Each structure stands twice: as structure tokens, then as C-alpha cells.
Structure 1
Amino acid sequence: MNLKYTNKKITGMLTVIPENEVQFIDTIDNYNFSKRQSMQLGKIMGYEKQRIVEPGVTVSDLCIFGLNYLFDKDLLKKDEIDALILVTESPDYILPPTSNVIQGKLNLGHDVFCMDINQGCAGHVVGLMQAFSLLDQEAINKVVLLNADVLSPKASIKDRNSRPLAGDGASITIVEKSEVANEIYANLKMDGTRREALIIPAGGFKTPSTAETAKLIEDDNGNFRALDHLCMKGDAVFNFVQKEVPIMVESLLEYANVQKDDIDYFMFHQPNKFMLKKLADRIGVSYNRLPHNVVERFGNANSITVPTVITYNLGEKAEHEEYLLCMAGFGVGLTWCSMLLKIENLDFCRMIEY
């Protein structure tokens, strides 16, 4: 599906990273592999360190911390917020929606439109699509897009396939109407027939958590995980990304009538360093234009990785310069989507610690 938006813009971006840092080398003894094997794999995949919340910290805590930072710095005013969109796969509660929890704790107005979206790796671009659609309403002028997850507890500490990549965090993206005519292009695809490539089998209403679903089971590769844990079929995910994402990006550029060389940066979801380098090779862009330096420093924080790669690599430069970006997310669902848009002279582009 091709999508097009006009007279919309991003005006600010903040990433909230947990202060707690875990070094991969300190976790090697958890895995059923030799230290040498784990270190070799870590070098290839980008297993170095990850940011993980302390026990008890939830999505709403991270989002409220980031929003209060913006309020305190006079970068955002409460009465300016018309809509609050939260993209997460780790809500505070089954109900009520966590966006309502955030709205209530911050004492935002009753007219604020609140919405939770259950999306993962593609969630930042999906959230932007929803934000842009809301801005078509006369009553909505500023949307706060929140992306946040604390999924590290769902990655088994004995699963070398997923645990070293797990990261937590949140991001806040401010989206507004633009007085200057512009065009934003996007595309989106979903395939639920491949849903089991990335799944937490138990914990929902289909398979409630029990003592049985909490038991660790060894897989064919020597990893131990329970049905309550994230299960990632690495080969299936890798092949999906390498096949579908380049096609998607080429289709987006053709739709927008933009040449690959016109794009300043390809800011993609950060699953692991190896996958991103192979993806850059297939698309035909340099590693400098498709950064892959986030997962090895912060971990894979689901839909927060795209804002993280932007705030980490551009930072204050985005507050004074302009960039044409191709953003893309791909993973759980399976879902894959991309967006072509320009960011310029942002009010803020920062990263803070919780």
C-alpha cells in the first residue's frame, strides 16, 4: 500500500534511554556455549552492551519522564497537545490503555485524543502514519507520538539468540501541521501468515501464562526459553528482511520519484549489526548512510530504534540543518514499512537517560 501526506512535519525528537547498562561479556556464562563461540558471534552481530530498565520500571514511567523533561525545558507545553499516540508491545496493563494512564498522570486536558497501537519493529513509521492522519482533522494541530517498550524481561537470560540484543527505552516525536507545502511518501505491507517468526507464544488470552508456560525448554541450537519468552526464528527473520526490505525501498523511491543518491540517510530499524550491513549491501548504499551503530550500544528496543538512530547520529545537527531521510521498520507481524520525509531545524533532537 502506497501512502502520501502533505503539509505535515516533525518538529522534535527525544529518546529516553535507561541508565542501567549491561555488558555482553558479563552475561556470557548464562549461555550454553563456550566463551570463544559467544565472543565470535557477538563481534559479528553487534553484541556489546544494552540498556535495560530496573525491575518495576514501566512504559508509562519512561514516557512521563521524557515528557516532563520537555515541559521543564519549555520545549513542549501541556495545553498544546491535541493527541497522544503510544506504540508499545509492553503496556502497563491489559486495560486501560497506557496512553490514558499517561494522560491522567500528567493531568492533560479531557479533549486530548489518546490511542495505543500494538506494533513492534515497524512501530515508529506506523505511528507517524497515524499521527499524520489525525492532523487532517481541524481540531488537531500537534500530535505527540510515543514509542516505548520494556521487553527485556521477555527475552530469556539463557537465550543467546535474543537476550544479548534486548533493549528498553522510549522516544517522543512531535508531529505538527506545516504551513509550507511538502510531500511525505510512505508504503506499508503486512503478512500475518509469517507471524510465528517473531512471537511470544504465551501470556495472552489465547495461551494464558501458567507454571507450565514458564518452564525453560532447550531448542535445537542450545538456547533455553519458555513459552512466556520471546521466540525469534533468526533465519526466517533474516531472509525476510533481505528479500522484502530492498524491494520495499525501491518501490518507495519509485513512488516518490526520488533517486537513491538524493537521500542523506537511511535510518532503519536496528535488529543487529550483521543484518543491517547485509541490507546496506543489497540496497547499494554505504554504511555511513545506513548507520548500524545503535544496537551494539543500546540494544534492540523495538520501535524505539529508528528515533534512537536519528537522535544518536544526528543529534543537535538536526536542530540547525536539513536532511532527507528514508526511514524503515520491519519485523514482528510480520510488518514492513518505509517513509521518505525531510526533517529540518527541529526544536530538539536529543537523547537523555532515565
Structure 2
Amino acid sequence: MPSKEIFFEEEMENYNFSTAKSLKLKAALGLNKRRIAPEGICSSDLAIKGLDHLFSTEKLKKEDIDALIFVTQSPDYIMPPTSNVIQGHFNLKQDMICLDINQGCAGFIIGLNQAFMLLEQPSISKVVLVNADVLSTKVSKRDRNSNPLIGDAASITIVEKSSQKTEIFGTIKMDGSGAFALQIPAGGAKLPISSETSVLHEDVSGNFRSKENLVMKGDDVFNFVQAEVPPMIESLLQMAKTDKNAVDYYLFHQPNKFMLNKVADKIGVAREKMPANVVENFGNSSGVTVPVVTCFNISEQIKENRLKVCFSGFGVGLTWASLLMEVGPLSFCEIIEY
């Protein structure tokens, strides 16, 4: 987690709105402060910092890594893959798999699914899943809809084979017809960056952004989450033959507090079981918010106990996915500052 904090009030003068309107938005969405990577720091830098910590504290040995998955929507380069960059930085063994996955809000869940599939291979015993995004540079400072929400972070999850017999239930759904509800229009082959793409334009709500900035159709995203996520969770619980109250925690992607509270109410679970405090403390770091909400809220519990948890991510793609599984006790679950 970057150590640099930016408070909501520090940026209010950038927005084309009155102080009263901005503070009303802050209260409604649960905004406060967010963590931002220093200038020039990429997703791989946060990942390398975290891996350095794991190696130096001997929680992870380099020679034990059989696969490295890197999930991001802010890679260091178009090519080479960022997973290979990290492998080369640490001079990891050549007899391993490096894999980049382009996913956002559901990226942690997609990455876990891929890790589970890799562990089905006889030659793979330990997978390092890195989920990282530095998207603060892709948001217009004059966009009140998105700028106060976005934070930067990286997570590292070690997934390894176990002799314990356990069941993991999951679901992944995608709807590309809604792909442009969340997008950065310029920067790819379809619309390369140019002098024209950097020009700021005002939208009907008074926000200013260029085609190089993240644009989010907030109403569309909210309606999508409310319509699709609760039925997905209900279907997952039915598949697992598990009562919703038997789940210890619902550890979901953190778009904002308001949206998550509505999801909890619609599913019919206590809000205390679905923590919604990441955006107000760290910001929305895309799929990384799932491990962040875990570390921030239940790190001590999950290091000592075995918990039944439901992970879920939803957003850009459109993609929505979930996992129901038992986790813990873990050998580590902590937040490390960059």
C-alpha cells in the first residue's frame, strides 16, 4: 500500500461544484482519504516491494515459486508481460509459468480461479498471485465522479497445494455488451494517444476529463451491480447448499460504501458481515480491494481461525464473479506500506 494519503477536502477546489455539493457526495459514498503511488511508481514496483518483504522475512522462498500470475489493468508496458518483468527482477527459476491477466474489479477472483487450475498440474505446487493497479494517473483531477474514489495498491497471495480435502464453489459471469460502462477510451490501438486525446472536455454533470482518463457511467454501473450481484450470490449459496448466515464474512470488491450497503441489504445479510470501509480509508484499487478489505478487517481472525468466506468482484468488463470457500488459519495476512 502506498504511504501517501490524499484527503477528499484537499481536492475539492479542483471540482466544478460547490463545497456543499461535494461534501454531500462525500457523506453519501463514504469518502475520506485514499492512497496514491508516488510519481513514476508502476504496478510492478508495488508488487516488487511486497515480494521483497516476503523474501526478506522468509515467508516465501524464491525457489518454491512454480507460477506467477499478474492481474492488472495498468501494466508497465504493452510488451513485455509484467509477470516476466517481475520474474527477471528477482532472477526466479526458468522452469515456471508467468502469466498476465487483463482484468479489473473482478481480477482477484479471476486470478484465484486461474491459480486453482494451475495447481491441478502435477509440476505446480505453489502459485504467487499478484493483483495490482496504479490507476490514479488515469483519472482526471477535475472529475468528481471518479477522482475521489480511486486509490493504488498491490496484493500478493500465495496459493499452494494442500492435503486437506475441501470444496471451493465459484461462479464467473461476463457481459461484453456493457463493456463501455467503465473505460479509458485512448491509449490502445483503437485510439492511440495524441495531442487531441489529452484535451479536457466538460460533461453534462460538470466534470472535466480527456479521452485518456477513466470514464465511468455511474448509474449504469450501480444498476448492474444491484441487478446482477445479489442473484449471483444467492445462486452460489444454493450450489454450495449453504445458508447465507453460515458465511462468516462477505469480502467484496469496494466500489463505495453506499453501493455495498445496498448489496448487503438486497442479499439479506448483516452489514457487519460485509465490510464497506476500504474506499474511505484507502480508495478503490480495483480488484485489489478484495484482499485489502480482508487484511484491513479480519487479519487477526483469519491468521488464527478457519473462516467460511464469500469473495466477490464486479465491474469493468462487465464481469462479476464470486467464490465460496474456507480460508485460514493463514501464516500471514498484513498490510505493508511502500
- Name the TM tier (shorter chain): over 0.9
* Partner of residue 340 from structure 1, selected from 316, 324, 328: 324
Distance (whole Å) between structure 2 residues aligned to residue 332 and residue 60 of structure 1: 21
1:295 is the counterpart of 2:279: yes
Structure 2 partner of 1:169? 153
Q: Deviations over 1:220-246 (max 9, x none)?
A: 100000110000000000000000000
Q: Which whole-Å CA distance do the structure 2 matches of 1:194 and 1:20 have between them? A: 34
Matched, 1:265 2:249: yes
**Conserved? CA contact 1:71–1:78, under 8 Å:** yes
- Provide the secondary structure at the position in 2 that maps to 1:293: coil
Query: In percent, how many aligned pairs have the same letter?
Result: 56
Number of the residue aligned with 1:115: 99
Match runs of 1:24-103 below 5 Å: 24-103=8-87
Structure 1 letter corresponding to 2:290: V
User: 1:199 is aligned with what amino acid?
Assistant: Q
Q: In structure 1, what residue type is equivalent to 2:163?
A: E
**Displacement of 1:178:** 1.4
| 1:212 is the counterpart of 2:196 | yes
Counterpart selection for 2:186 from 190, 202, 212:
202
Structure 1 stretches of 4+ moved >4 Å? none
Residues 1:131 and 2:106 aligned together: no
Q: CA deviation at 1:286?
A: 1.0
Q: Look up the equivalent residue of 1:314 and give its one-letter code.
A: I
Which secondary structure state, in structure 2, belongs to the residue aligned with residue 212 of structure 1? coil
Secondary structure in structure 1 of the residue aligned to 2:148: helix
Q: CA deviation at 1:316?
A: 2.4
- What secondary structure does 1:288 align onto? helix
1:141-184 CA deviation, whole Å, 9 max, x = no partner? Answer: 00000000000011100000000001001000010111011110
Query: What is the TM-score of this pair, normalised by structure 2?
Result: 0.99
**2: distance between equivalents of 1:217 and 1:121?**
26
**AA partner of residue 290 (structure 1):** M
Structure-2 residue corresponding to 1:229: 213
What per-residue deviation string (whole Å, max 9, x for no partner) do you get for residues 78-101 of structure 1? 011000000000011100000000
Letter in 2 for 1:175: V
Distance in 1, matches of 2:214 and 2:307, equals 36
The runs of 5 or more residues in structure 2 that have no matched partner are none
Coordinate RMSD, CA, aligned: 0.6
Whether the 8 Å CA contact 1:59–1:148 is kept in 2: the answer is yes
How far off its partner does 1:292 sit? 0.2
* One of 316, 321, 326 as aligned partner of 2:310: 326
Corresponding residue of 1:18: 2
Q: Distance in 1 between matches of 2:330 and 2:227?
A: 34
Number of equivalenced pairs: 338
TM-score after normalising by structure 1 = 0.95
Q: 1:255 aligns with which of 239, 242, 246?
A: 239
User: Take 1:84 and 1:323, find their aligned partners in 2: how far apart are those partners?
Assistant: 26
C-alpha contact 1:159 1:224 (8 A) present in aligned 2: yes
User: How far apart are 1:282 and its partner, in Å?
Assistant: 0.5
Q: Quick one: which amino acid aligns to residue 230 of structure 1?
A: L
Q: Secondary structure at the match of 1:145?
A: strand
What amino acid maps onto 2:294 in structure 1? I
Residue identity opposite 1:167 in structure 2: G
Highest RCO, 1 vs 2 (Cα 8 Å, sep ≥ 6): 1
Tell me which residue corresponds to 1:239: 223
C-alpha separation between the residues in 2 aligned to 1:59 and 1:20?
15
For residue 313 of structure 1, what is the aligned residue in structure 2? Answer: 297
Alpha-carbon shift at residue 330 of structure 1 (Å): 0.2
- Asked if 2 retains the 8 angstrom alpha-carbon contact of 1:316 and 1:348, the reply is no
Looking at structure 2, the residues matched to 189 and 142 of structure 1 have their Cα atoms a distance apart, in angstroms, of 27
State the alpha-carbon separation in 2 of the partners of residues 248 and 155 from structure 1. 30
- The aligned residue for residue 175 of structure 2 is 191
Superimposed CA distance per residue, residues 295-316 of structure 1 (whole angstroms, 9 cap, x where no aligned partner)? 1100000110000000000112
Give the letter aligned to residue 342 of structure 1: E
Larger deviation: 310-319 or 232-241? 310-319
Which has the larger share of strand?
A: 1
Q: Which runs of 5+ in 1 are unaligned?
A: 1-16
> Structure 2 CA distance, aligned partners of 1:66 and 1:260?
34
